[in-house]
Amino acid sequence: MGFGGISIWQLLIVLAIVILLFGTKKLRSMGGDLGSAIKSFKQSVREGEDEVNNKGDSTLEHTSSEDASVQQTEKDKQSS
């Protein structure tokens, strides 16, 4: 028994039918297109994660500068 009740022979028969229907050249080009799409998707995900991380860093810097200005304002009020 193979994947979910499908035997290896059934998979080979389906593969043979797919090859007969589409041909090896068409399958090769479809595989290349699929590989390019996956590569592009992974690159976009990485860029999105980098963008989120960079925004998080700038938000932390912005927050710390705001905290410093608030602390300075409180010191000014206390000294008055």
* pLDDT exceeds cutoff 70 at 21: yes
Residue 54 banded pLDDT, cuts 50, 70, 90? confident
CB 27 within 8 A of CB 18: yes
Q: Is 6 helix (H, G, I), strand (E, B) or coil?
A: strand
**Which one is predicted more confidently, 25 or 62?**
25
Residue 33 banded pLDDT, cuts 50, 70, 90? very high
For 3: left if phi > 0, alpha if psi spans -120 to 50, otherwise beta; the answer is: beta
